[in-house]
Amino acid sequence: MSKTTGSNDLGTNPRGIPNAPFVDKVEDYVSSRAEVDQTMKSFQEMISKYQFMEVNTQRRKAGLDDKIPDLQRSLDTVRFLKTRRPDSDPLEATFELNDTLYAKALVPPTEEVYLWLGANVMLSYPVDEAETMLEGKLSGAQKTMQNCDEDLDFLREQITTLEVATARVYNWDVMMKRRERAEGGGEEGKRGAKGKPNG
């Protein structure tokens, strides 16, 4: 395996995040000690990119952690409103206007609900359409959450793979330095022994 094919044929996960190179033999990535620094720098850059993706994915997951319960509550409310018959008594409900302000209201049986769509936009929907839309949004958010969990596991695995690769290249470099010193020291020892006068 050459360095070029190693970097191009790594594949990706379903969201297009590339696999990290698995270093089984250091010689496949480093042919001489002169390439060690550049190889380790390349691995560190890749680790930084994976860590950046990990932070962004964690943020997206945190947003979904807040969004999914809200969608579920909205869907449960719409389903409850859908079960009410036209001759039912008005329902007393408490609405949160902001973090510390609430209001009470009587809600008669209704065929229509108003939903916040974000960016200060609220639209009116028939109850059936509201239920369908909320089910779709909840299902999409849950799928995205599942993808985030899978991506986080995948990213952690790639970071670990690269940390192991970095350690292997570093250890290989240390071993090469020791070998060079041993070979150099052996030659110097021989030269010194030849030039040493007999006692």
**Residue 36 contacts residue 171 (beta carbons within 8 Å):** no
Q: Which CATH architecture best describes the domain 36-166?
A: Orthogonal Bundle (1.10)
Label residue 7 by pLDDT band (50, 70, 90): very low
Give 165: exposed, middle or buried? Use CB within 10 Å, 0-12, 13-18, 19+: buried
pLDDT recorded at residue 26: 87
Label residue 4 by pLDDT band (50, 70, 90): very low
* Single pTM value for the model: 0.74
| Residue-wise pLDDT tens digits, 37-53 | 898 999 999 999 999 99
| Residue-wise pLDDT tens digits, 106-123 | 988 889 999 988 788 889
Instruction: State the chain's mean pLDDT as an integer.
Output: 86
> What per-residue string of b and e applies to 51-62 under the rule 16 or more CB within 10 Å gives b?
eebbeebeebbe
Distances (CA, A) of 143 to 16, 41, 61, 139: 16, 36, 11, 6
Say whether pLDDT at 2 is over 50. no
pLDDT recorded at residue 194: 52
| Residue-wise pLDDT tens digits, 8-46 | 457 899 999 999 988 888 887 787 888 888 989 999 999
